[in-house]
Amino acid sequence: MEKQIAIIGGGIVGATAAYYLSTLPGGQQVKVTLFDDGLGQATTAAAGIISPWLSKRRNQQWYQLAKAGADLYPQLIHDAQLGTDVYQQTGTIVTREIPTDLELLFDLAQERRQTAVTMGSVTTLTAAEVQAKIPLLANAQPGVFISGGARVDGAALVAGLLAQATAKNLTIRRERVHLTAQGQVVTSLGARQFDRVIVAAGAWAKELLAPLGITADVRPQKGQLIELAVKDYPIQENMPVLMPEGERDFVPFGHGKLIVGATHEDDGKFNLQVDPTVTADLFASAQRLMPSLTTANITGTRVGTRAYTSDFAPFFGPVPDHEAILVASGLGSSGLTTGPQVGRLLAGSALYGGTPDWSEYEKPLATYLKPSAE
């Protein structure tokens, strides 16, 4: 008898879970339905940097999860037959103006490299060497170069993973759904019972879990970035991504496309309107690195809603007292890095059951999911 699995949310976690549910052993005995209305999703608005190794976060569980996510990417991209327009290991440059800060950053990179083979090589670069690698820059600072760093286009990644899964066992329904107190999925056609439900709806997880008598520690945060058309250098497709000190992330793609951002706007919540003031701030950051830019170079903006917990750590796993329902949320701005690993773990749990121990990657779920009476 076929197992019926629902996924609520088609962002990085939901799309990766759908992909693995179509490729893991036993997937041929599963029918998967993914529900997503397409509004506000963080992943499709995101283009980001896969380079968690120099993070100063003290949460070691988060670091292990992010490191595992970075490690997973090359194999995932290869297996899903996705191209360099989706993901490419171009390397990452993190800049520091003060020499002692640069030395500390290099020492941290060398230390982290001992347990992170995916980092590749680590070297320090002068300002001139940084500019040689990213000739778009006019005002470069010295930095640390990590050859294993990568860039990823969130929308293209999700589209590619869902296309692979749809060819096998996935049906996509473009609608908003909710859960009943019994864990049924209420759709436009009525309530439906699934063998497993994966709630991967980001900041909307709180609303979805409420009928189960669960209060989720998760809040929305608005993020906005800009796309710019710039000079198309022959090497641009292989330019490193840049995390400049004091400025927004700087992500060159091929064919003269540059992404700058994204912002972290706590007061923006679920607002998906482009804020001209924020656009101006993002552009000013880009212009400080490339003074020749004008607003005519702006070709578009993207806005999405991230999910954060009060301690900025993600959570995922079976919902307490509702073991057939799995949830993931709170990935924040590291969603593109941590999401694939979370989606893979949830897919395995949905297929095979059991009580997996993911304490290496997260605090107990009870930290974030409380009975509503409390």
> What residue ranges do the domains of the chain occupy?
3-44+155-219+311-371, 87-150+221-305
Nearest-angstrom CA–CA distance, 359 and 342:
13
Per residue in 34-52, is it b (16+ CB within 10 Å) or e — as a string?
bbbeeebbbbbbbbbbbbb
Nearest-angstrom CA–CA distance, 35 and 170:
11
Closest CA to 112 of 72, 151, 143, 146: 146
Sort 277 into a burial class: Cβ within 10 Å, 0-12 / 13-18 / 19+. Answer: exposed
DSSP 365: G
Architecture of domain 87-150+221-305: 2-Layer Sandwich (3.30)
Q: Do domains 3-44+155-219+311-371 and 87-150+221-305 have the same CATH topology?
A: no
Residue 41: what pLDDT? 61
Residue 187: what pLDDT? 96
Superfamily of domain 3-44+155-219+311-371: FAD/NAD(P)-binding domain (3.50.50.60)
Q: Are 233 and 239 in contact (CB under 8 A)?
A: yes
Residue 141: what pLDDT? 94
Nearest-angstrom CA–CA distance, 239 and 251:
9
Note the helical H segments in 243-334: 276-289
Residue whose structure tokens are 């909710």:
178
Residue 238: what pLDDT? 87
| Assigned token pair, 318 | 């079976």
Mean pLDDT for each consecutive 10-residue tract of the chain (374 residues)? 93 97 93 88 71 90 96 96 92 96 95 93 96 92 96 93 97 96 95 97 96 96 94 83 93 90 86 92 95 96 92 95 95 94 97 91 96 74
- What is the residue-wise DSSP string for 180-200? -TTS-EEETTEEE--SEEEE-
Residue 45: what pLDDT? 64
